[in-house]
Amino acid sequence: MEGKNGPGVLVVEDEEIALSGLCEVVREVMPQARVMPFRSPVTARQAFEENPCEIALLDINMGGQNGVDLAKSLKLLSPDVNIIFVTGYSEYTGVAMRIHASGYILKPVTPDKLRAELEDLRHPIEPASPDVLTVRTFGDFEVFYKGSPVNFKYRKTKELLAYLVDRHGALCTVDMIVTVLWEEEDGERKKSYFRNLKQDLQSTLRHIGCGDTIVVRRGAMAVNVNRMECDYFRWLEGDVDGINAYRGEYMSQYSWAEITNGMLSETLYDTALH
């Protein structure tokens, strides 16, 4: 399953190539969707029971349990699920109507066909405002989610996030992070500790539904600047409220933040002169 913040889309097709193609169409039309692909109707039903979706794209002709039977069981679990049948035959239109399916697409499935069905869902999906972290950098560094502070297992984890925020979405290598967070201490020995911080940061944010705030690449990390509200980011964008929020202090508890604070102070001074 993909960890995105859009509507959940269950995709069930017993042929591997067809399943892959169907998922590609879904991702093209709904780039923010949580796509849940399955080849087995039984496994798909179990996953749906644990994590219900707003939309289910079901192939009708599958080995064993068919798409119609699966649709009936999904509706028992979640009556408002939008069932969209996918098939190579038109003979099932009446069946789809009898179980109040939302849509019916004849193969091959194209982006235009899928868009047409999504525009006329039986149970329309309200666009959700994504929950994001609120980060305060002016003064002491603090992180909030829905108004409450985010608590990490390790105190240093918070500093790791602070440094990534300071880098404003730039990828930071492990060596770079270790050097900044521990300065002159044994870098090689601290890399083991860093792995604990990385795991703590990812698991804590994932637990509150903000896992995609952190971008991880081979040997490097960054923050997704679009997944957090941050006074420093607003300052960089020239937002008036962000500029006015700065009062000469930036991440006060971290010595390495003095470089950025100096830049902020110099800009504030130059602005005052003009």
Which CATH number does the domain housing residue 44 bear? Answer: 3.40.50.2300
Structure tokens belonging to residue 84? 């969209």
Same domain, 165 and 46: no
Would you state the pLDDT for residue 3? 45
Residue 138's CATH number:
1.10.10.10
pLDDT in tens, 207-227: 898 988 999 988 899 999 989
Those residues of the chain that have pLDDT short of 50 are 1-3, 272-274
Same domain, 66 and 183: no
Tell me, yes or no, whether 128 lies in a domain: no
Same domain, 174 and 98: no
Tell me, yes or no, whether 127 lies in a domain: no
Give yes or no for a contact between 155 and 249, defined as CB atoms under 8 angstroms apart: no
Same domain, 80 and 144: no
Total count of domains within the chain:
2
Supply the pTM of this predicted model.
0.54
Same domain, 168 and 250: yes
| Nearest 10 degrees: Cα torsion 195, 200, 206, 207 | 150
Tell me, yes or no, whether 125 lies in a domain: no
Same domain, 26 and 56: yes
Tell me, yes or no, whether 97 lies in a domain: yes
Would you state the pLDDT for residue 271? 52
Structure tokens belonging to residue 161? 């996030």
Same domain, 108 and 191: no
Tell me, yes or no, whether 123 lies in a domain: no
Same domain, 157 and 75: no
Give the whole-angstrom CA distance, residue 162 versus residue 172: 12
Given 70, 88, 118, which residue is the final one in a domain? 118
Residues in the chain: 274
Give the whole-angstrom CA distance, residue 209 versus residue 238: 29
Helix (H) / strand (E) element for 190: namely helix 187-207
Distances, alpha carbon 154 to alpha carbons 3, 21, 29, 43, 160, in Å:
25, 43, 40, 37, 10
Same domain, 82 and 181: no
Tell me, yes or no, whether 155 lies in a domain: yes
Tell me, yes or no, whether 1 lies in a domain: no
Same domain, 139 and 167: yes
Q: In terms of DSSP bridges, do strands 220-223 and 172-173 run parallel, antiparallel, or are they unpaired? A: antiparallel
Task: Give the contacts of 109 (CB within 8 A, at least 6 positions apart).
Answer: 21, 22, 25, 86
Tell me, yes or no, whether 208 lies in a domain: yes
Same domain, 250 and 144: yes
Burial class (CB in 10 A: 0-12, 13-18, 19+), 244: exposed
Given 86, 118, 150, which residue is the final one in a domain? 118
Same domain, 225 and 179: yes
Domain that holds residue 189: 133-273
Given 93, 118, 143, which residue is the final one in a domain? 118
Give the whole-angstrom CA distance, residue 80 versus residue 122: 8
